[in-house]
Structure 1
């Protein structure tokens, strides 16, 4: 809702609104409307007038009242009223804030009664979003939603209204503006509350809109999808009423299938157009040759010919199995999900610092690709999992691959490591996954997948390479 105004007159089922542009428009009356109220409305809410009666009604007789309204209105309406992004806060209470490009709050929406009480107690308009979040936490403590010494998780999710608005999508640190804002909010929360952990996640506008159809925050909707994907589905109503801490704990107690802690790390992968990465990367970066021979992988040791498969058959060596599940089943998708499980099927400990996992895909445009990690069962998402995209000679099913490596972690015999994440284009345009070598469509759960490859000490130990 990008239009703002003051209710000037109410006639039957219509309301006359004085806009910030000093013009009058007529919109459909709402149940909670009253004279002098500041409201927000969309262009589609404006009624088409058959005449200009309301443009001039009572202007002469009510000029004093109009002046008062104008004075109040233009003090209340900010200069920057365009919605830049949506920030959802879940404790439970659960709510969402619309913010402008200056990260100041324009509007708040409560998803439950507890959130409505908090919002009504706070002066929100044009306050920095991080200050408002701190006020929400303070109010939650006062109402008993957060115990004084209780360990509490708070989920902060964000979606840009228009990804193209993020003109400074990257900088020397490899972080976008909205990601930096999320990091700032998380830091403010944890620096001022020793018993509270902030969890942040960046989502798309489409995901937010899908969540709004169920009257639930986009952050909780993201949890809903991930639980469903892991075969631990809960109803929307259950998710909506759960505290974030209880939701995370319920996932953590199910050891069989760990689930994301929803703390993405955004890094800009090094490719033809190199940008810095916020995640640690090996000191020696790959060099992509400009003219590789047909079918030859650049900057990699000689490989088997296409169709060579190595699947747990290396005798007297550490062996491993990879399982994959692709949440993004659509052929056209903004994100390529590379989630996998590594299972140690051998008799020796596997040090993941020696392990590489590759996901092969085809990219038809030359755009920077972002790497995100949502969950790592053996360490920290932000520091212990790295990703780079490499160019290879163009084949029918691939011309790039993502290589995932690890800073730490080890898998004992019979145990597994779970790693969830995705890659996206910088401008959030869609990939066409139809011909991608590693794309797995139709699987409903994690299952063996030999079109992703695993290497230990640079030796292929699982999967089929596409060349």
Structure 2
């Protein structure tokens, strides 16, 4: 029987194992070996897969109790189909859409791609990262994969607080996300649209298989345009939503704080660009002058030739006229004699 061969990229290294993201987007723990580094592509078989330690009977009762507590907690928050310990749900929409669940410490405890493009952006283990770091990774990956460009630079971020005592954290989350994005110069000028969700809308969004961010945009847009459908909003890219000003959206442009060195470098680059423009314009004018000179020369030459042709024709006509006169006089002379 042929062995199953796995291929993937190492994304995390622990004491006894490494986490590998396979080509089929599976997270698999593999036995730790020498020479394994984050980012390295590896090939492995079933025997290389790390086996978790078996649960003893002594700890089984405790695990069962925790499991029951998880079920009870999920029931208490309204059967929202979210993880135990989730304090808030954050969705990120570009065209790829991703949903992240975070705990009270703002650490990501679950990541869910909401469409096929979303799967492409989850290229490393986001669990355990602070939400601002996770979103930074997602946006950076989107930039690298050209989901974000100069023309398509709008991102929709929605925060839904599950535990009411954490509602005041929404603004703090937004600030943390912005500050993290400002650390990357390549993300300068990105437009972020923030919308706030609630538990009731989150439940409906999950039912309709749409991000909570886009669902809130849909609700807002219904006030202005009652004919708009949920599917239309679902199919729209965030850039289109931003450009059409659908809903009561507040677009915030993220500007990178530049130090003196960066500003001087920008000035040098700008001056160089201006110098190149001047050189280009100078070359263009010289070329134009050269073309005009050639054109003038050609016109003068044409006029000269035309003048010569005119004189020649005039001389020929004069000659013909004289010959005609001679012929007439000759005929008259012969008649008279």
| TM-score, length-scaled by structure 1 | 0.36
More strand by share: 1
Higher helix share: 2
Instruction: Please give the TM-score of this superposition, normalised by the length of structure 2.
Output: 0.48
